[in-house]
Structure 1
Amino acid sequence: MNLITTTDELSAACQRLAKADFVTVDTEFMRETTFWPKLCLIQMASPEEAVIVDPIAGADMDLAPFFALMGDESVTKVFHAARQDIEIVFHQGNLVPHPVFDTQVAAMVCGFGDSISYDQLVFRVTGAKIDKSHRFTDWARRPLSEHQLSYALADVTHLRDVYAYLSEALADQGRTDWVREEMVTLTSPSTYQLDPERAWTRLKLRVRQPQDLAVLRGIAAWREREAQSRDIPRGRVLKDDAIYEIATQKPKDEAALARLRTIPRGFERSKSGREIVVAVQEALNSPKESWPSVPRPRQAPDGSTAATELLKVLLKQVAEQNGVAAKVIATSDDLERLACNDLDGLATMSGWRRELFGDKALALKEGRVALSFDGRKVVAFESDEPFVAAPAKKKKPRRRIKKAAADGASGDAVPEQADAEETKA
């Protein structure tokens, strides 16, 4: 096992790895008590070798050679569920790895289901079973055992075989470009930029007035700055429920802040308490035209609920027919927007998703796709012209018995077109 603890060792290893076409990468980190993830281990493997970088054991280690490798355009960086790993590289190395291949995304495109785990994917591709007993290891504690290091290394050694398999499968199915499209968002710096002024967009909008939303935005931005500067989780600065209550109650002084149910006793007298009162005042005094707009609930037209249910059936049919995870094609919100003709910026209506599902979904709404069931699975029939629904059959009126008129007719009963009604002679 090649365990690297010095900058010189890291530089030499990265120079060797840079000669390969691809490098598999994984990281181990801790962030339960911090805002920023604490990098504890880096695992990398090329087809020829595998290494573990220990930045904690090498306290004075310079990770510049690693970041240079991550930015090397001639080497594909292979991750599984890459977002958190890329986030670490972005915030510590000020760059986004590129080019990138995410095996979790590729597996969904190749029909391995929604968000398949690494150990499940390795088993299905290679038959190898990964020991997950060290999944919850405290990676910041030293020394690490041989078993812990072996477990960590397995996260990149088996990934080589998975990458080779998925790359070939994508090429055979003509879906390589599909995954390449998905990597655009994953490798965009905007995905990892944590702007405090945008922190409010991650909260559920439990307020419905522009003024309340302006206060919520200001308090969320204050919390984000505090969490980042103090390197502690957001919830340790201020709970979400407290932000909602402050937004609706808008305390204008420390005494008003102290009366809030979600504020701990004595908090109003702290530096944070005083800063919150100031943030509330600033939000209230800001120009109304600068207040964020309250998103309007989507007005679902008549029949959209039924249309959404039909689209769900079509999505399942398309996913099964093409061996693609339904989740990666369209979400439930995507289907609701499709049903309501809210197509602006909808990912399902662009790129390979539109080719695979989006156009067919529109055709279903226009009556040019019909769904049926053959006893085992749903099938779809397409037509250039809308299918015409058969006219509803008219119900035959039932008969009732009418008493003979009292104009000399016999007492025999005669039939009449009406509701059935029994009469007594």
Structure 2
Amino acid sequence: MRARSGGLAPPPAPPEGLFHRFPCFTLLASRGPMGYTARMNLITRTEELAEVCARLGSAEFVAVDTEFMREQTFWPRLCLIQMAGGGTEALVDSLRPGMDLTPFFELMVNERVLKVFHSARQDVEIVHHLARVIPHPIFDTQVAAMVCGFGEAVSYSMLVKRLLNRNLDKTSRFTDWSRRPLSERQLTYALGDVLYLRDLYPKLRSQLDKSERASWLNEEMGVLTDPATYELHPEQAWRRLKMRVKTPKALAVLIELAAWREREAQAQDVPRSRILKDEALYDIASQAPRTVDDLGSLRTLHNGFARSMRGRAVLDAVSRGLERDPQSIPPIECGEPMPPEAQAVVDLLRVLLKATAGKHGVAPKLIATSEELEEIARSDDEEVPVLRGWRRKLFGDDALALKRGELSLAIEGGAVAVRPTKSEPA
């Protein structure tokens, strides 16, 4: 393993013959006490990938990052894989013709090796989509940083600056990673990202162990490694939409339309909006057109859509929605304002949340969202995340006790204090 403090040892030389068939040059990622040099090895053959993954398979952990494109597709298109750990660094050209990523996927499910990501969800989603496996075990540096008190949704560049005292060059972040050949600037950026990630892990691990909050992180990693997190069910696609319809009939049509669009987008591997924009979904759901002429009169659809194959599919979806069993239609979210007494409870819960977050040095949103506070104010029985696991111990139980009048809030020394409510004498 690399040294964890002071100067970092240079990586060992690759085995004889390894990487000899593709370009290899030196990246000076930084200078000074934390400086290091690394060989930029661009892997273009399956056998080379297998050799590298075999070496990484004996490491304690491997830092993993990916570069992908999805602006023009439904599924993310994996363009480059970056890995670093145990004295080995490598970039993998996942778009190279004939490249078989099986060795990489096998490494991702190797239980002896911890996989370190930053903001892991999209990286895990890519692996799950391509290989139907979930990387495990994993460590997400973004979540770990929040648990350690670095704030909510802490950025990678800020972590690198605070923990490694380095400034990231992000100029290549939004370049086209699908174009070949990749430039030296792109490769330098990509390798730098994963090398910093490798060096962030021991520092965050140390802080996490000192905080005695490893169980918090384990619960969050449980969500990230649950296959259900990445399953896309077309019949649930309507829940992703932000606007709301006003009648059960419109909701039934919207459910069928959103499911149809989801299936089409997945099958054709195009963004949902390429099939039908959200505004058109709501327009169709509200109007429930039954004929081609009715559909053609909607302003949100382009000329000719109603008589196209998609137009006919939309009319079929409308018919399915109108024929749905009323018992199968979820209740409409009325959006009515909370009653004053419930809103007062929410206000008190917000104060308690800020006090709890401040006491433990974590971001309030890591503990609970505004929506969860509202659900607690409305009912004790809501199955909300804040009433489960470490969040319940940290905040949920106190939130319920405050709602029941068993706790009170006071100002002591300029800060909010939480105190048990004194019982009235008999």
Name the TM-score, length of structure 1 as normaliser: 0.87
3-state DSSP of counterpart to 1:9:
helix
- Partners of 1:387 and 1:112 in 2: how far apart? 42
Say whether 1:69 aligns with 2:107: yes
Give yes or no for contact 1:368–1:387 (8 Å, CA) kept in 2. Answer: no
Number of the residue aligned with 1:219: 257
Q: Which residue of 2 aligns with 1:382?
A: 419
Amino acid at match of 1:173: S
2:124 matches 1:90: no
The answer as to whether partners of 1:27 and 1:40 remain within 8 angstroms in 2 is yes
Given that 2:380 and 2:400 are in contact with CA atoms closer than 8 Å, whether structure 1 keeps it comes out as: no
Q: Point out where structure 1 has 5 or more consecutive residues left out of the alignment.
A: 389-425
Q: SS state of the match for residue 372, structure 2?
A: helix
Q: C-alpha displacement at 1:375, in angstroms?
A: 6.0
Cα contact 1:316–1:326 (8 A) shared by 2: yes
Partners of 1:310 and 1:301 in 2: CA distance: 15
What code does the residue aligned with 1:379 have? V
Secondary structure at 2:175 match in 1: coil
Which structure 2 residues correspond to residues 299-318 of structure 1 after superposition, within 5 A? 300-318=338-356
Contact 1:301/1:340 (CA < 8 Å) preserved in 2? no
CA contact (8 A) 1:370 1:387 kept: no
Q: Which residue number corresponds to residue 394 of structure 2?
A: 356
Cα distance in 2 between the residues matched to 1:302 and 1:118:
41
Q: Does 1:279 align with 2:317?
A: yes
In terms of mean alpha carbon deviation, does 338-347 or 64-73 score higher? Answer: 338-347
Tell whether the 8 Å contact from 2:117 to 2:138 is kept in structure 1 after alignment: yes
Match of 1:325 in 2: 363
SS at 1:113 equivalent: coil
Q: Read off the aligned partner of 1:333 and give its amino acid letter.
A: E
Equivalent in the alignment of 1:418: none
| Kept in 1: contact 2:73–2:270 (CA 8 A) | yes
69-78 vs 362-371, greater mean Cα deviation: 362-371
- Assess, with a 3 A threshold, how the Cα gap between structure 1 residues 366 and 231 changes in structure 2: closer, same or farther: same
Structure-2 residue corresponding to 1:30: 69
The CA distance in 1 between the partners of 2:379 and 2:284, in whole Å, is: 36
Code of the aligned partner of 1:4 = I
Structure 1: distance between partners of 2:347 and 2:110: 46
TM-score, normalized by length of structure 2?
A: 0.87
**RMSD across aligned positions (CA):** 1.8
Question: What is the 5 A alignment of 1:8-19?
Answer: 8-19=47-58
| Counterpart AA for 1:22 | F
Q: Where does structure 2 lack aligned partners over 5 or more consecutive residues?
A: 1-39
Cα distance in 2, alignment partners of residues 287 and 384 from structure 1: 50
When the two structures are aligned, how many residues end up with a matched partner? 386
Deviation digits for residues 26-69 of structure 1 (CA, Å, limit 9, x no counterpart): 1000111111111110001113121110112x211001111111
Q: Distance in 1 between matches of 2:305 and 2:77?
A: 29
User: CA separation in 2, counterparts of 1:358 and 1:285?
Assistant: 42
| CA–CA distance in structure 2, aligned partners of residues 290 and 369 of structure 1 | 41
Deviation at 1:233, TM superposition (A): 0.5
Deviation, 1:335, is 1.2
Larger radius of gyration: 1
* Counterpart for residue 50 of structure 1: 89
Counterpart in the other structure of 1:407: none
Question: Could you tell which deviates more after superposition, 350-359 or 174-183?
Answer: 350-359
**CA distance in 2: counterparts of 1:165 and 1:223, whole angstroms:** 45
Give the conservation status (yes or no) of the 8 Å contact 1:367–1:387.
no
C-alpha contact 1:43 1:156 (8 A) present in aligned 2: yes
Change (3 A) 1:129 1:225: same
Q: Does 1:151 align with 2:182?
A: no
1:6 aligns with 2:45: yes
The separation in 2 between residues aligned to 1:286 and 1:365, in whole angstroms, is 40
Give 1:104's match in structure 2, choosing from 130, 142, 156.
142
2:68–2:78 CA contact under 8 A, matched in 1: yes
Letter in structure 1 aligned against 2:76: P
1:400 match: none
Matching residue within 32, 41, 47 for 2:80: 41
User: Offset of 1:299 from its aligned partner?
Assistant: 7.6
1:194 aligns to what? 232
